[in-house]
Chain A
Amino acid sequence: MKILEIRGVSKSYGKVQALREVDLVIRGGEMVSIVGPSGSGKSTLLQIAGTLDRPTAGTVRVAGHDVSRLSDSELSALRARYIGFVFQQFHLAPGSSALDNVADGLLYSGLSRRQRREKAAAALERVGLGHRLGHRPHQLSGGQMQRVAVARAVAGEPPLLLADEPTGNLDSEAGAEVMSLFRRLNAAGITVVIITHDSEVAMACPRRIRVRDGLVRSEVT
């Protein structure tokens, strides 16, 4: 099954062509890395794949839904159900516990508060932070914070996980921990797409995509 299907997608910001007629298909269960020089259009590609932004031209399908035909609220529902995001800067609420941060990610899923907290606890357990539920971000290491963010992204069990440089702010040891977490999640069935500058991270992925000047240049399989 094609979880993500991008056909002839272009994106321009004024005169800047961030993406030029990109074609990309990702199937359910894949683990993919996206590499390329700075400014080549990786984040733009991920934003469009994650429906956070719309392409200037071309079509994007997520789990079969043609994104261009969806209203804002349908798009929001799509994100809530199908996509989890992990960002380079964790984006955790500083005043809230790990549990609350993870549960917050489920706020728009329609679950009750109790169900959200149960799922959040389970997700934290899954990323190996079952003993840190009440810790607030400043009481956690960088690697632990990113694992909280990963738990938040997967707590709702989305089929697709999109990560933009998830190890960019971590040392190699913490980065390796997060990567092994991604591999475990992938083994459990989640499709994982990771943007990275780190060749070790890229090599850990079975499929690698290279982006240059807004074009998807090469695929190594």
Chain B
Amino acid sequence: MTALRPARLRPTDLARLGTSGLRARPMRAILAALGISIGIATMVTVVGVSASSQEQLLRQLDALGTNLLRVQPGDSLFGDQVKLPKTAADMVRRIDGVTNASQTGETGVTVRRNDLIPSGVSLGITVQATSLDLLDTVDGKIRSGTWLNAATERQPVVVLGAVAAERLGLTAPDIQVWIGNRWFTVIGILDRMPLAEEIERSALIGFPAAKDYLNHDGHPTTVYERSADEAVESVRAMLARTVSPEKPNEAKVSRPSDALKAKAAAAGAFTGLMLGLGAVALFVGAVGVANTMVVAVLERRREIGLRRSFGATRGQVRSQFLVEAVLLSAFGGGAGVLLGALATFVYARINSLPAVVPMWALGGALGTTILIGALAGLYPALRAARVPPTVALTAQ
């Protein structure tokens, strides 16, 4: 007498068996998987959109570099502003590793379209004196017109930052604006400058012109410095002492790219609320899958009994329904991933961002739906395994 050992179901047979119920009722399968799809689509979209925004900022950061430092006077112990020396940029340029250094100085006056506008209206634009090599240091570009030169830095002419021009309603140079108490001619407009947003909001004139026409004292309020990447930390340690040897703790050193980095990090941290909504949809989806499977087991008692009469073990019946639940859930997850990726792509397209859906989000979505399917299918599968074989003979 030979031993009785049931044959194992091959994985392909189990997979085919697991899809048989879904193929028999495709509409029900689609509806049952809908909740899971919506949940996964929401989550993939949330992750995709934030990853795309972050990618955009990181690419920008890459292009702009992280080797620009900025020095500004801090407040003294007594609360009044400390002055940086007039030759601060020249002093900084002598530090080892520094490749460029430039300075700007706030004049304290306002710029207006004409003299009829009251002088208190600044539009948030700062009128600043600048050294001629500023654009090299901050990597700025002229959008239209020209930059200052050795001749024009002595004349009543002005170059506007991109935001300043926008706020004044100007798109082209060769127009007069009112600065302090006289007309200046706009000779150029700058491009956007994400690493120096304060320059975007400035109206720039030469240091000599600032002295002659606006009584500026010649002291800079910001020094910009660029160095080799590896020298950034050593230069940073020297900067305050160089521009303010007596009171180095009264000079503030900052790294403009840090702000952009923080922005990128913030963009990468997706909102918990949207993720929460996705999780709720997933939970509802899981309940939907469980419910569908319970109904399927009730409806298919006779099939179960029949399979038991063919020689299916309880474990094989359990596997069949577990696999069906997992496939149902994973099918919803797959559709959700596609939907989410599509939504991310459309969003990125509209906002001209690079479309990014991280691999971990795809893998996570698939893993999550398999887990959900297994959990949701567990109880129905256990019930299916308990259906007695006799129903094949008795059920009418």
Contact = CB atoms under 8 A, between A and B. Distances in A.
A108 B390 contact: no
Contacts of B390: 47, 52-53
Given A43-B393, A65-B4, A85 B309 contact: yes
Interface string B17-46: 100000110000000000000000000000
B313 A76 contact: yes
B358 interface: no
Interface residues of A, number: 37
A50 interface: yes
A164 B392 CA distance: 11
A72 B311 contact: no
A47 B187 CA distance: 101
Interface stretch (A2-10, A109-117, A199-207): A109-117
Nearest to A53: B390
Contacts of A64: 1
A78 interface: yes
B394 A43 contact: yes
A83 B309 CA distance: 8
A79 interface: yes
Which of A53, A73, A107 has the largest number of chain B CB atoms within 10 A?
A: A107
Which of B6, B305, B307, B316 has the largest number of chain A CB atoms within 10 A?
A: B6
A80 B6 contact: yes
Nearest to A63: B1
Nearest to B7: A110
Interface in A88-134: 89, 91, 93, 95, 104-110, 112-113
A197 interface: no
Contacts of B112: none
Given A77-B4, A77-B6, A80-B310, A108 B393 contact: no
Contacts of A95: 23-24
A85 B392 contact: yes
Contacts of B308: 52, 76, 79
Nearest to B25: A95
B306 A91 contact: yes
Contact of B13 (A50, A76, A113): A113
Interface string B297-333: 0000011011111111111100000000000000000
A50 B309 contact: yes
A53 B6 contact: no
A46 B315 CA distance: 24
B311 A80 contact: yes
B309 A108 contact: no
Contact of B310 (A46, A65, A74, A105): A105
A135 B373 CA distance: 35
Given A104-B310, A113-B13, A76 B302 contact: no
Contacts of B13: 107, 113
Query: How many B residues are at the interface, by size bracket?
Result: 20 to 34
Q: Is the interface of B mostly helix, strand, loop or mixed?
A: helix
B5 A77 contact: yes
B9 interface: yes
A187 interface: no
A73 B308 CA distance: 10
Contacts of A53: 388-390
A52 B311 contact: no
A80 B144 CA distance: 86
A109 B393 CA distance: 21
B394 A79 contact: no
A183 interface: no
A136 interface: no
Contacts of B312: 76, 107-108
Contact of A91 (B8, B9, B315, B392): B392
Contact of A113 (B8, B12, B311, B315): B12
Contacts of A164: 393
Given A80-B7, A91-B306, A112-B10, A73 B392 contact: no
Nearest to B389: A52
A42 to B, nearest CB: 11
Contact of B4 (A50, A78, A87, A104): A78
A25 interface: no
A15 B23 CA distance: 43
Which of A64, A73, A80, A108 has the largest number of chain B CB atoms within 10 A?
A: A108
A140 interface: no
A74 B313 CA distance: 8
Nearest to B320: A107
B311 A109 contact: yes
A81 interface: yes
B54 to A, nearest CB: 48
Nearest to A50: B309
Contacts of B9: 107-108
Interface in B327-351: none
Nearest to A46: B393
A107 B392 contact: no
Interface of A: 43, 46-47, 50, 52-53, 63-65, 70, 72-81, 83, 85, 87, 89, 91, 93, 95, 104-110, 112-113, 164
Interface of B: 1, 4-10, 12-13, 17, 23-24, 302-303, 305-316, 388-390, 392-394, 396
7 contacts: A47-B393, A52-B393, A73-B313, A77-B5, A80-B310, A95-B24, A109-B7
Given A81-B311, A105-B310, 7 more contacts: A52-B309, A73-B6, A76-B316, A80-B311, A87-B393, A91-B302, A108-B316
